[in-house]
Amino acid sequence: MHPAKSKIVRHESKGMMKYIKKLIPVEISEPWDIETENADVLKITFAPWALANKSWYKVGNCKTCHHDVDAHGWVGTLEGGHIVCPGDRIVTGIHGEKYPIKPSIFAESYEPYVEQAQQLPDDHFLNL
């Protein structure tokens, strides 16, 4: 048994339990920027979009990444959509859903997936 899965931990004071994500391979794009071709990301222009949504930027810069707002994109998600900052990657989830992930979260949470060859018994080819 995986050491981290050997017991379930309950935090009585918060009424919450800790879980480990299942190891499910997902597709993740290369880091995005305004010059990147990605059919899932719409490039947004500053004037029409930002005038209606002023809460995410401050003096022409994104509050999250501090890049100029016209260097951002938009990806449709199950929740409606998210802004894509330069450097974000686009994850394709297990049901085909798309969402952006910040570089720091990507580095802490993901590693390359390597498919394992199916192990066959030593005598597999002798019994044909």
Is there a contact between 41 and 75 (Cβ–Cβ < 8 Å)?
yes
Which residue would you say has higher pLDDT here, 108 or 115? 108
What's the confidence (pLDDT) of residue 7? 57
Residue 40 forms part of a structural domain: yes
Q: What is the pTM of this model?
A: 0.65
pLDDT, tens digit (0-9, with 9 covering 90-100), for 5-18: 445 555 555 677 77
In a domain, residue 80? The reply is: yes
| Token pair listed for 2 | 């995986």
The domain of 89 spans 26-112
Query: Is 119 contained in some domain?
Result: no
Q: What's the structural domain count of the chain?
A: 1
